[in-house]
């Protein structure tokens, strides 16, 4: 299996290549550099392994939630490649990608939980809850967007909870009663293509990848109020 993954859903820009069980990646913090950096990363990764785009079996991308502009960049590039190469695509949750990184970074035990928060701006966070199942994050509820003081956790069930994602910088605005349930928080983790491709491979191997036209972003927030600039 040869799979290329892209992520531009946050200030990080990254690409990763899964090559028969090995992962090779590029990652750079570049809030306004995604369009400039992404394709050179792809070309470098393929060239280093002596591959051409036509050698790929599948593509994957972080489909959000996250930066609206960033999510659209990766979506557009992946759709174009998938149509041109006639290969399938695996859309991967950006929140799940961070949950996977947290499982490893925070040594989350089997069955324990990861609450991922991204800053969604406008006084809200993107929120996703996951459990560690055999080293992979499994969602326990639908992803959502809400004010920090409206985030919730499942009822006490004996498992330990960990927090991940830059939205945890807003933890002082979250319900104080259950923030104390968290045994570890990493508010530096960003989505990365290496995590995206690792989550995509089991999906692709089960034949659940989708055609290019179904590789769509997931914004979570359905309505956005845009403030028109003066004179525009």
- Per-residue pLDDT reduced to its tens digit, 114-166: 999 999 999 999 999 999 999 999 999 999 999 999 999 988 778 899 999 99
Give the pLDDT confidence score for residue 70 in this predicted structure.
96
**What's the confidence (pLDDT) of residue 222?**
66
Look at the pTM and tell me if it is higher than 0.75. yes
Q: How many other C-beta atoms lie within 10 A of the C-beta of residue 12?
A: 21
Q: 68 near 3, Cβ under 8 Å?
A: no
Residue 62's pLDDT is what? 98
Would you say residue 231 has pLDDT above 90? no
Average of per-residue pLDDT across 172-198:
94
Percent of the chain with pLDDT over 90: 88
pLDDT, tens digit (0-9, with 9 covering 90-100), for 126-139: 999 999 999 999 99
Residues of the chain above pLDDT 70, percent: 95
- Cβ–Cβ < 8 Å for 4, 56: yes
Please provide the DSSP assignment of 127-187 as one string.
EEEEEEETTEEEESS--EEE-GGG---PPP-S--EEEESGGGGGGGGS-HHHHTTEEEEET
Q: How confident is the model at residue 232 (pLDDT cuts 50, 70, 90)?
A: very low
- Looking at domain 95-186, its CATH superfamily turns out to be ATPase, nucleotide binding domain (3.30.420.40)
Q: Note the pLDDT of residue 221.
A: 78
pLDDT tens string 56-93: 999 999 999 999 999 999 999 999 999 999 999 999 99
215, 196, 2, 218: which is closest to 88 by C-alpha?
215
Average pLDDT over residues 171-181: 88
Q: What pLDDT, on a 0 to 100 scale, did the predictor assign at position 158? A: 82
Cα atoms in the Cβ-side hemisphere of radius 13 Å centred on 56: 29
**Share of the chain residues as helix, strand and coil, in percent rounded to the nearest 5:** 35, 30, 35
Region 97-120: mean pLDDT is 97
Query: How far, CA to CA in Å, does 208 sit from each of 20, 147, 193, 213?
Result: 18, 34, 19, 14
**Bridge partners, 163 (sequence order):** 115, 185
Average pLDDT rounded to a whole number, residues 165-171: 96
CATH code given to domain 2-93+191-214: 3.30.420.40
Which residues belong to CATH 3.30.420.40 in the chain? 2-93+191-214, 95-186
Strands of 69-123 (E only): list them. Answer: 89-92, 113-121
- C-alpha–C-alpha distance, residues 199 and 95, integer Å: 12
> How many CB atoms sit inside 10 A of residue 102's CB?
26
């Amino acid at each position: 299996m040869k799979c290329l993954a892209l992520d531009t859903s946050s200030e990080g820009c990254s690409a990763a290549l899964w090559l028969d069980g090995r992962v090779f990646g590029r990652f750079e913090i570049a809030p306004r550099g995604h369009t400039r950096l992404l394709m050179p990363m792809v070309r470098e990764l393929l060239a280093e392994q002596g591959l051409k785009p036509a050698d790929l079996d599948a593509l994957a991308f972080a489909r959000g939630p996250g930066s609206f502009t960033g999510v659209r960049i990766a979506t557009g590039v992946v759709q174009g490649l998938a149509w041109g190469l006639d290969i399938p695509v695996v859309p991967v949750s950006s929140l799940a990608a961070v949950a996977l990184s947290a499982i490893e970074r925070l040594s989350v035990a089997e069955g324990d939980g990861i609450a991922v928060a991204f800053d969604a701006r406008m006084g809200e966070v993107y929120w996703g809850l996951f459990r560690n199942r055999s080293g992979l994050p499994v969602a326990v509820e639908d992803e959502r967007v809400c004010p920090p003081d409206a985030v919730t956790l499942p009822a006490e069930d004996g498992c330990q909870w960990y927090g991940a994602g830059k939205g945890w910088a807003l933890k002082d605005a979250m319900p104080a009663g259950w923030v104390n349930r968290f045994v570890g928080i990493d508010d530096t983790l960003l989505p990365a293509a290496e995590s995206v491709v690792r989550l995509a491979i089991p999906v692709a191997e089960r034949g659940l990848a989708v055609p290019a036209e179904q590789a769509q972003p997931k914004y979570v927030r359905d309505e956005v109020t845009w403030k028109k600039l003066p004179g525009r």
